[in-house]
Structure 1
Amino acid sequence: MTMENKNIVQRALAGLIETGDVDALARSLSDDFVHHRPGPISSTKGEWLAAVRAALVPLAGMRVEIHQVLADGDHVVVYSRRWLPDAGPEIAVVDIWRVADGLITEGWEIIEPVAQVAANLVWWEPARR
C-alpha cells in the first residue's frame, strides 16, 4: 500500500510539473480533498485547483527538483527545491499528502525561501537589538 500511495502522488505531481496539466491532477484528488498551509489557511479541492491554475502563468518556467519522496502508510512526503522564473528566489518545499482509496484526500505544504534558512535556524532566540 505504501508504494502504491507513493506512485499515486508521483504520477499526480509529474503531470503537473512536466506539462501543467491541472485536470490530470484534479482526477487524482478526492471530491472532499482539503489543502492546508501553515496557520488557519485551508482550501477545498475547487479552491486549491483554482489557485494552482492561476499560478501556472506567473510560475511558467519554474524549475523543480524533487529530492525525496518518502511514504509511510497513507502519507507521502515530498521534499523539493524550486527556482522561480526570471531569477526569482529559490525555495524549499515540503508537501505531505494523505492518500485514501487510491486518491489524494489531504495535503499540507510548507514553503521556505532558501535565502532565509540561516535566520530560521535560530527562530527561538530573542531578537537582537
Structure 2
Amino acid sequence: MTTDNKSMVEQALAELMETGSVDALEPLLSEDFVHHRPDATSSTKAEWLAAVQAALVPLADMRVEVRHLLADGDHVVMHSRRRLPDAGPEVAVVDIWRIDEGLVAECWEIIEPTARAAANLVWWEPAGG
C-alpha cells in the first residue's frame, strides 16, 4: 500500500508538470479533499484545482527538483526545491499527502523562499535582540 501511494502521487505530479493540466490530479482526489496552508486557511477540491490550474500558466517554465519522496502508511511526503521562471526566487516546498481508500484526502503544503531561510532559523529570538 505504501509503495502504491507513493507511486500514485509521483505519477500524478509528473503528469501535472508534463501536461500543464490538473486533469491528471482531479480523479485522484477524494470528493471531500482538503488542502491546508500554513496560515490555517484551507480549500476544497474545486478551489485547489482551480488555483493550481491558474498557477500553471505563469509557472510553466518552473524547474522542480524532488529531493525526497517518502511514504509511510497512508501518508506521502515530498520535499522539493523549485526555481521560478525568469530568474525568479528558489523555494523549498514540503507537501504532505494523506491517502484514504486509494484517493488523496488531504494535503498540507509549506513553502519557504530559500533566500529567507537563514532569517527563519532564529524565529524564536525576541525582535531587535
Shorter-chain TM band: over 0.9
Partner amino acid, structure 2, of 1:65 = E
Which is further off, 107-116 or 53-62? 53-62
Q: Distance between the aligned counterparts of 1:44 and 1:85, measured in 2?
A: 28
Q: Residue in 1 aligned with 2:78?
A: 78
Shift of 1:101: 1.4
Question: What amino acid maps onto 2:126 in structure 1?
Answer: P
C-alpha contact (below 8 Å) 2:21/2:56 kept by paired residues: no
**Structure 1 residue ranges, 4+ long, deviating more than 6 angstroms after superposition:** none
Q: How many residues align?
A: 129
Rounded to whole Å, the distance in 2 between the matches of 1:73 and 1:30 is 18
Q: Percent sequence identity over matched residues?
A: 71
What are the ranges of 5 or more consecutive residues in structure 1 without an aligned counterpart?
A: none
Checking the alignment, whether the CA contact within 8 Å between 1:32 and 1:44 is kept in structure 2 is yes
Computed over aligned residues only, the root mean square deviation of the Cα atoms, in angstroms, reads 1.0
Gaps in structure 2 of 5+ consecutive residues: none
Q: Deviations over 1:54-104 (max 9, x none)?
A: 111111100000010011110000000000000000000000000111111
Structure 1 equivalent of residue 97 of structure 2: 97
User: Equivalents in 2 of 1:116, 1:39: separation in Å?
Assistant: 17
**8 Å Cα contact 1:8/1:103 also seen in 2:** no
1:60-71 correspondence runs (5 A)? 60-71=60-71
